[in-house]
Structure formats: structure tokens, C-alpha cells
Amino acid sequence: MPRPANPLVRESLLDAGMTLFHARGFNAVGIKEITDTAGVPKGSFYSYYSSKNVFAAAVLDRFWTGIVRHHGPILTDPSTPPVRRLVAFFEALTRDNAERGFALGCLLGNLALELSDDNGEARLRLANIMEQWSDLIAACLAQAGNTADDGVATTETTDLASMIIESWEGAVMRGRVDQSRAPYDRFLTVSLPRLLDAVGVSV
């Protein structure tokens, strides 16, 4: 199909999809609701995206790009020690969730547990985003450790980065169930420091 010329419509669809999927999930939201929220005719959806599944992959990209743009610089700020950057990064994500009353969870985690094999494209995108996220955290961890590898991420730092992200996502999940910041606080004060100990650094 020819690529439509109006980037504003595409933007509106992605904004609507991100808000609606985050608030209510993938399956509970229909395409008509997305186009209504975006203020465009329902038929135009398929000029931009061949399926809801392909659209979800684009929404996930947009969500992740927003996190990298808003909070990514924290992780590379040379004026702050690497471990402090990691804590500050997750504190920033905690503030994002506080603004939503801890009620919505993380869009990545939500779709991770809702998308099934039928949603191949979105699921593969999600796997790729989780990998990018691990790499970002691992690069910071590599600079934090007293290692002889000159700050280059290794299998060990990438695994550790993944565990930090997994503990974080579990905390966000429990925070959503209880609509409480308690799981965020214990992640920041106990789980994260204990995992960071593995690279021989303390918060």
C-alpha cells in the first residue's frame, strides 16, 4: 500500500494507541476507539498500519523512544557516578508511575503479558526493546564495576542488567495490583542495591 503523506495523522494514531493501550490493554481497545480518539476516520487506520498487531509494535517503539529521550541522558551523565545514574534512572521512572497513581503499570510489561503468539510482530519488537534496555543498563554497569574490561559490557553485566529490569517490572506489577508505591520503594532501597553488589559497587 502507498505510504500516506500525513505524518500528523500517524502521530495522532500513535498517541491515541499509547494512551489507550496503557490504560486498558491491547485486547480491550478497538480500532474504532483509537481512530475516534485520534480524531481521524476509522478507514484511515489501514492506510497507515496493516493490522492492529503491526500498530502495537509501532506504539511500543514510541513508548520506548519516549523513555530513552526523557530519561536516557541520566544514564550517560558524566558528572554523576555510574551507580548513582542507575538509581536516578529508576527514580525517574518511579516518578512517571507516581503521576499515574501507580495504577497503569509499564506499557512494555503490560503488553508483554497480554500479547500472544498471534501477535508475532509486536512480541518480537518487545523482545528487541527489552534487549535494548538491557544493553543500556549494562553499559552503565560496565562503567560502574571495578573490572579490567575498560567499561565494556560483558555477558555478566548484561545478565545483571536484565535482572535489574526484571525486578523492576515485577515491582511495577505489584504496585499496579496494590496501587501502591511500596514495591517501588523496596526495589530502590533493597533489590537494586543487592543486585548492584554483584558488580562490587554499593549505592
Residues found near its own copies in the complex (CB under 8 A): 23-25, 27-28, 103, 105, 109-110, 112-114, 116-117, 123, 126-127, 130, 159-160, 162-163, 165-171, 173-174, 176-178, 183, 186-187, 190-191, 194-195, 197-198
Cβ of residue 127: shortest distance to its own copies, in angstroms? 5
Cβ of residue 39: shortest distance to its own copies, in angstroms? 24
Q: Determine the Cα–Cα distance for residues 107 and 110; give it in Å rounded to an integer.
A: 5
Supply 47's cell numbers: 492506510
Give the nearer residue to its own copies in terms of CB position, either 75 or 122. Answer: 122
Give the nearer residue to its own copies in terms of CB position, either 48 or 184. Answer: 184
What DSSP character marks residue 3?
P
Cβ of residue 192: shortest distance to its own copies, in angstroms? 10
DSSP string, 113-177: HH--GGGHHHHHHHHHHHHHHHHHHHHHHHHHS--SSTT---HHHHHHHHHHHHHHHHHHHHHHH
Calculate the alpha carbon distances from 80 to 33, 35, 72, 88, 201 in Å. Answer: 44, 43, 14, 10, 14
Cβ of residue 37: shortest distance to its own copies, in angstroms? 17
Give the nearer residue to its own copies in terms of CB position, either 48 or 55. Answer: 55
3-state secondary structure of 106: coil
Cβ of residue 92: shortest distance to its own copies, in angstroms? 19
Give the nearer residue to its own copies in terms of CB position, either 40 or 199. Answer: 199
Give the nearer residue to its own copies in terms of CB position, either 9 or 165. Answer: 165
Residues in the chain, how many?
Answer: 203
Q: Is the CB of residue 167 less than 8 Å from the CB of residue 187? A: yes
